[in-house]
C-alpha cells in the first residue's frame, strides 16, 4: 500500500517537536506498482514487479509480499532493472530539515545471494539524471550466515529537502543468482525547531502577525527574494525586489494558519515559521 502525505496543522505541531512525519510509504501489499516508473534497461522484458512473492517447491512463500526483480528465472538473467517512485513532495521541508529514506531488502539463501543493487535519489525520474545523482547507495547483498534474512537499510536525503524528488531502485551487474526483494519503502522528514542560518542573518516580526510582517537583515546582507509558503508547499505571497535592510509584506488577506518565510539572499537561503492570526 502506497501513501503520499501532505503536512497539515497536525503535521506542523509534530514538526515543532522535531518529530518525523511519514511523507511516502509503499509496502507493496496491493501488488500494484503501476504508479512507479519502470525501466527495463537490459531489454530482456523482465521487470521489477513481475512477481511479488517467491515460493519454494512446495508452494510455500519464502519472501514477504514485496517488489521483486530476478537474476535467474529458469535460465540466467543479466538484470538492469529500474523502479522509480512517484514524485515525493518535500517542498514544505526547508533547507536544514532531516529527510530519511528507509527500506527492507532480502535475497535468496545459501549460494544465491550475490545480488547487486543501487538506490538513487534525485529531482528527476529519468535514468540519465538518476545516474548522476549525488544521493546514492550501493551494495551487494551478501549474508554471511547464508540464511537470506530481511535487512534494514537507510539513506540520508536531507540535501534534497525543499524539492520534489524521486527515489530509484536499480538491480544490476549480477547474474545467475535468484531474486532481490525490496519492501517497506519509506520516506520520513522533520523540520528542526530553528533554522540557525535564518536566525543568524534575518528577522521577521511580528510573529504571530495579522496584517503586515517586516523582514529584516542583521548583517547588511542583500536579499534577492522573499516567499511566504503555506503548509502544502504553495507560494502565497512573494517579494521579488532586492533589499539590504528591511522590507514589508502585507498578509492581511491570507487565511489564518502556519506559514514559512523563505529568504533567498546572496549568502544562502533561510527559512522561518510564522503564524498568521
Block means of pLDDT (10 residues each) for the chain, 277 residues, are: 49 44 95 98 97 93 97 97 96 80 95 96 97 97 91 96 94 98 95 70 92 92 92 87 93 90 88 87
pLDDT given at position 224: 94
pLDDT of 2: 62
E strand or H helix that includes residue 199: helix 196-201
Asked if 24 and 164 count as a contact pair (C-beta separation under 8 A), the reply is no
**Residue 5, pLDDT score:** 52
Please confirm whether the linkage preceding 15 is cis (ω < 30° from 0).
no
Look up the CATH architecture of domain 196-276. Answer: Sandwich (2.60)
Helix (H, G, I), strand (E, B) or coil at 260: strand
pLDDT reported for residue 14 = 38
CATH class of the domain comprising 2-190: mainly beta
Residue with cell 519502470: 38
In this structure, are residues 217 and 201 in contact, taking their beta carbons and an 8 Å threshold?
yes
CB atoms within 10 A of CB 55: 11
pTM, rounded to two decimals: 0.70
Domain limits of the chain? 2-190, 196-276
Instruction: Write down the pLDDT at residue 6.
Output: 44
Amino acid 192: pLDDT: 56
CB 237 within 8 A of CB 215: no
Q: What pLDDT does residue 15 have?
A: 39
Alpha-carbon distance of 264 to 226, in angstroms, equals 6
Q: How many whole angstroms separate alpha carbon 189 and alpha carbon 273?
A: 16
Phi/psi at 13 (nearest 5 deg)? Answer: -65, -35
Task: Assign 3-state DSSP to the chain and report helix, strand, coil percentages, each to 5.
Answer: 10, 45, 45
| pLDDT for 130 | 98
Instruction: Report the 10 Å Cβ neighbour count for 47.
Output: 18
Amino acid at each position: 500500500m502506497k501513501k503520499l502525505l501532505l503536512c497539515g496543522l497536525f503535521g506542523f505541531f509534530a514538526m515543532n517537536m522535531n518529530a518525523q512525519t511519514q511523507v511516502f510509504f509503499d509496502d507493496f501489499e496491493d501488488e500494484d506498482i503501476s504508479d512507479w516508473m519502470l525501466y527495463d534497461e537490459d531489454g530482456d522484458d523482465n521487470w521489477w514487479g513481475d512477481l511479488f512473492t517467491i515460493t519454494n517447491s512446495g508452494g510455500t512463500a519464502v519472501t514477504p509480499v514485496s517488489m521483486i526483480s530476478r537474476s535467474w528465472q529458469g535460465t540466467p538473467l543479466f538484470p538492469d532493472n529500474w523502479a522509480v517512485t512517484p514524485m515525493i513532495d518535500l517542498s514544505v521541508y526547508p533547507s536544514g530539515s532531516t529527510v530519511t529514506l528507509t527500506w527492507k531488502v532480502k535475497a535468496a539463501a545459501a549460494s544465491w545471494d550475490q545480488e547487486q543493487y543501487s538506490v538513487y535519489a534525485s529531482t528527476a525520474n529519468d535514468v540519465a539524471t538518476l545516474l548522476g545523482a549525488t544521493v546514492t547507495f550501493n551494495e551487494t547483498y551478501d549474508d554471511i550466515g547464508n540464511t537470506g534474512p530481511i535487512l534494514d537499510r537507510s539513506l540520508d536525503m536531507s540535501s534534497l529537502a525543499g524539492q520534489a524528488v524521486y527515489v530509484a531502485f536499480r538491480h544490476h551487474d549480477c547474474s545467475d543468482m535468484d531474486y532481490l526483494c525490496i519492501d517497506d519503502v519509506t520516506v520520513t522528514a522533520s523540520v528542526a525547531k530553528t533554522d540557525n542560518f535564518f536566525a543568524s542573518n534575518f528577522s521577521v516580526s511580528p510573529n504571530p502577525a495579522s496584517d503586515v510582517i517586516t523582514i529584516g537583515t542583521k548583517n547588511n546582507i542583500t536579499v534577492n527574494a522573499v516567499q511566504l509558503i503555506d503548509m502544502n508547499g504553495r507560494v502565497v505571497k512573494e517579494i521579488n525586489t532586492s533589499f539590504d535592510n528591511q522590507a514589508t509584506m502585507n498578509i492581511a488577506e491570507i487565511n489564518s494558519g502556519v506559514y514559512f518565510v523563505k529568504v533567498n539572499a546572496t549568502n544562502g537561503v533561510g527559512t522561518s515559521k510564522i503564524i498568521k492570526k
